[in-house]
Structure 1
Amino acid sequence: MRDRILVIQLARLGDLVQTVPFLKDLRHNYQDSRIALLCQKKLVPLARMIEGLDEVIPFPLDDFLSSPDDRGGTIPHLWDFLRPLFQQKYPMVLNLNYSLISALAAEGLCEPQGEIIGNFLGADGRVLKRSSWFNFIGSFSSRRRLNPFNLVDVFRYLIPGERNDLYPMLRLDNENSWHRRSDKPLVVFLLGAGAKKRQWPVFNFVKLAKLLQKKTGVIIALVGSKKDRALSRIFARRSTADFVDLVGKLDLVELCRVLKEACLVIGSDTGPLHLAAALNTRTLGLYFGPAWVHETGPYGEGHTVFQVDVPCGPCLDRGICKEYLCRKVITPDLVAPEAIKLITGDKTEDPPIPDSLHLYVSQSDGKTTRYIKKRGNKAESDTQVVRNIYRYLASRFFHFPDQEKQASLGNTGGLVKDITYALYCLNHDYLGFSVGPFFEPWIRFVYSYRDTREEIRGMLTAGFDSVFEYLKDSANPF
């Protein structure tokens, strides 16, 4: 009996926002259950705005990690924080974080005969394990360009069931809306980012503000956390635009009100950008460095993203980059015309963009969101075919919704050749075959998920049979 369900989401603001559609689906499918959310203490005000939650449990993650004694961040110290929570047990725990902290919390909060879904500790209590769906998604870690699954959809399809309507995602009291000093259209600039590699230079925002106000007469609101105040001071010194500086001055509820009133929110892949999308406000994303639009593009219909595509990307948040070449690709002169179209609805001539830049627009049917290329180098088309193939595989082997076959897949002769070779090897019981990099995630997943030789052979064969069927029925496969 799943009368009580716990969801664990201990990651940052953006991850919590991207969990909201999953929580709405969960409520839709378990209407008689009591649903609780364990999240970071500082995010509790936002969590309490999520539709369908019965309880929000705060976890002082920052206090644990920054504890002044010599045990701060250690496992014995962790139990001091978790032990008060263990008075309540749940028959079903959904752990969305791949971390030791969340896995230990899941073990302690789950009933002895209960079920942990998502990420959990192995039988030895040391190794982190994943449910099959998360394991499949994890197989793209070394081939991120091939990953077609938005993080929101990764969460939503962890368990089977019907999908709920996306909006409204958050309960926001309209009576206490943010009052601004102008009737001009409001555009929000997100100056900062969670990682330096994701941060668009503040001088670009200064030039963008000048270009937008010259053409549209908007008022600009600067938004960010307290650590972004240095950026807002630079903006104030360099800009002559009409703006209001709200950096470090808003709590989460006030931030929601500002984002809700905006006609457009512009920024990199950061929490407030996803929060704006959750509030059904149009966004314009600037993605480079570790950010990859197919993984973490703003969820929902009609969002626009500039995506830099260079050989070294997408990279990781950690690590040092000496040149930051990708940040130089997206310029204010490229962003301004697209932003003006989104603000005014007027059609303007599109300036040419470099080969290393793509412009994507989101499409959503309420069940999934995907990004379709609007402008950019067409050499990426083969990779897009493979992304479509993996969405099709997900619909055959997991809870992912059925995917329509593409009317035309372009030149897929190389893919068919690889599949034919793989099936030949499998039919002759040879598992040591090697195919192109496009199918590496599928092979990695099968080898990590299945144990016996017969299981591995059977699932590989089923996968490649499905792909061959997908390709042969499409127009011009050879």
Structure 2
Amino acid sequence: MNKQPQKILVIRLSSIGDILLASPLLRLLKKRFPGAELSFLVKKKFLEAISTNKHVDRVISLDTTAGLPELMRIRSFIKRQNFDLILDIHNNFRSLFLRTGIGADVFSYPKFRWQRFLLIRFKWNLYDEIIPVYRRYLYSVRELGIEDDGLGLEFWVDDAASARIENVLASARFSKERFILCLAPGAGFETKRWLPEYFVDVANRFVREREAQVLLLGDERDRKITRTITAQLNGHFLDLSGEISLMESAAALTFADLFITNDTGLMHLAVALSVKTIAVFGPTTSELGFFPTAPHALVVENSGLSCRPCTHIGSRKCPKKHFRCMREVVPEQVYEAASRLLA
């Protein structure tokens, strides 16, 4: 573009992790164009993932439960704002509809759909290099003079949420002076979930060796898993799955000495908060771009399987019916990785 933008819109409608992965882009946009008004369009259900971002001047929410009339309303609203730069880092049919014909310069990010399809379907790896998703977002605007600053993801916890969680932990007799192990054993798809009994094994070892207090996080869909785990824990625990908001989950993570998680939005949240994180990956691989890259995060995976990746977002069942990608990641591996991270 030939002039400095005055009004910028970034579109990323979902989900938690993808929105958090946009935080370096937002920081660098504000640095590159400090005088521009920066807006962010997101689904209403994911507002908390962006609402406290200090680089965003305005958050626009889309209520997808209201159907087509809401989509038309938001498109009309966008058109009236006279944005001169739109960055579509969602790049799907809905975002295409929202940005087309607005009159702004539009940039969208590469999803490498063909490379992804060939890798998953035929195991043909045509990726020239492994590019994390947050860097793909930056790549989409490289011609604007924006380059990675290496500072990673970021997130700001609301003070009120921090105060509420501090009270919750105090009421549950959690001590900030003792080791707090946080677990997120859920995930949107079954194949992305490490085995509950493995979480139990690792947690109980931390209880034995560090007198750990165990804090469990997740949404209401994870309660069956967390209750299975807490029934077998030997130490002091608190299960907050389905009980607190995303912002309160972020506040809870700030109290953790270690976070063990599957590939979830909470994983990216912990990384953004600089919490020491062990992430267990099963059916997906680093080429797909979602492995954490921060020095305070380690990935544990079964890298020797030729059937990986079998999906890019997870699935209900293992297509090979053996689920070796998760079953063969044993608790000892996760504990050893955690010990290295804590050393």
On whether the aligned pair clears a TM of 0.5, the verdict is: yes
Instruction: Please give the alpha-carbon distance, in whole angstroms, between the structure 2 residues aligned to 1:56 and 1:285.
Output: 30
Residues 76/248 of structure 1: CA separation in 2 closer, same or farther (3 Å cut): closer
Cα separation, 2, equivalents of 1:210 and 1:54 = 45
Aligned counterparts of 1:217 and 1:116: Cα–Cα separation in 2? 54
Q: Where does residue 152 of structure 1 map in the other structure? A: 134
Partner of 2:88: 95
| Deviations, residues 162-213 of structure 1 (Å, cap 9, x unaligned) | 4446278223356844322213121110110122111112121111111111
Change (3 A) 1:278 1:138: same
Q: Counterpart amino acid of 1:328?
A: R
Give 1:307-322 correspondences, 5 Å limit. Answer: 307-309=301-303, 310-316=305-311, 317-318=314-315, 320-321=317-318, 322=321
1:228 shift after superposition: 0.7
Question: 2:205 aligned with 1:206, yes or no?
Answer: no
**1:118 alignment counterpart:** 108
- From 287, 292, 299, the counterpart of 2:281: 287
Q: Does 2:134 match 1:140? A: no
* Equivalent residue number for residue 475 of structure 1: none
Deviation >6 Å, runs of 4+: none
Please name the residue that 1:18 is paired with. Answer: 21
- Is the contact between residue 169 and residue 278 of structure 1 (CA under 8 Å) also seen in structure 2? yes
User: CA separation of 1:173/1:22 partners in 2, compared to 1, >3 Å: closer, same or farther?
Assistant: same
Q: What letter corresponds to residue 335 of structure 2 in structure 1? A: A
Q: Secondary structure at the match of 1:238?
A: coil
Amino-acid identity (%): 22
CA distance in 1, matches of 2:196, 2:238: 15
Q: Which residue of 1 aligns with 2:268?
A: 274
Question: Which moved further from structure 2: 161-170 or 35-44?
Answer: 161-170
SS at match of 1:261: coil
**Distance in 1 (alpha carbons) for counterparts of 2:196 and 2:316:** 22
Q: Matches of residues 42-81 of structure 1 in structure 2 within 5 Å?
A: 42-61=45-64, 63-64=65-66, 78-79=71-72
Higher relative contact order (CA 8 A, sep 6+): 2
What amino acid is the match of 2:237? F
Q: Secondary structure at the match of 1:231?
A: helix
Alpha-carbon contact 1:190-1:272 (below 8 Å) kept? yes
How many residues get paired? 316
Output one character per residue of 1:5-28: Cα deviation in whole Å (capped at 9) or x when no partner.
100001210100111111111111
Structure 1 residue runs of 5 or longer lacking an equivalent are: 65-71, 120-133, 346-478
CA contact (8 A) 1:9 1:95 kept: yes
- Give distance in 1, aligned partners of 2:262 and 2:88: 27
SS at match of 1:314: coil
Q: Displacement of 1:230 after TM fit? A: 1.0
Cα displacement string for residues 391-427 of structure 1 (whole angstroms, at most 9, x for unaligned residues): xxxxxxxxxxxxxxxxxxxxxxxxxxxxxxxxxxxxx
Secondary structure of 1:254's aligned partner = helix
The answer to whether the 8 A contact 2:190-2:316 is kept is no
Separation of aligned partners in 2, 1:164 and 1:215: 39
- 1:4 aligned to 2:4? no
8 Å Cα contact 2:24-2:153 kept in structure 1: no
Q: Give the TM-score normalised by structure 1.
A: 0.61
**Distance in 1 between residues matched to 2:75 and 2:30, nearest whole Å:** 26
Alignment check: 8 A CA contact 1:198 1:291 kept: no
- In structure 2, what is the Cα distance between the partners aligned to 1:266 and 1:258? 14
Residue 217 of structure 1 and its aligned partner are, at CA, apart by: 1.4
Q: Which has the larger radius of gyration?
A: 1
CA-atom RMSD in angstroms: 2.4
- After superposition, the C-alpha distances for 1:231-258 in whole angstroms (9 at most, x for unaligned) are 1221122222321111111112211111
SS in structure 1 opposite 2:27? helix
Which residue number in structure 1 is paired with residue 33 of structure 2? 30
Task: Trace 1:330-345 onto structure 2 (pairs within 5 A).
Answer: 330-343=329-342, 345=343
1:324 aligns with 2:323: yes
Give me the whole-angstrom Cα distance separating, in 2, the residues matched to 1:293 and 1:213.
Answer: 35
Residue identity in the other structure for 2:115: F
Once the two structures are superposed, residues 79-101 of structure 1 have per-residue CA deviations (whole angstroms, 9 ceiling, x without a partner) of 36644554323111100113100
Equivalent residue number for residue 380 of structure 1: none
**Separation of aligned partners in 2, 1:59 and 1:299:** 30
- How far is 1:288 from its partner? 0.9
Describe the shift of the 1:77–1:172 C-alpha distance in structure 2 as closer, same or farther (beyond 3 A). closer
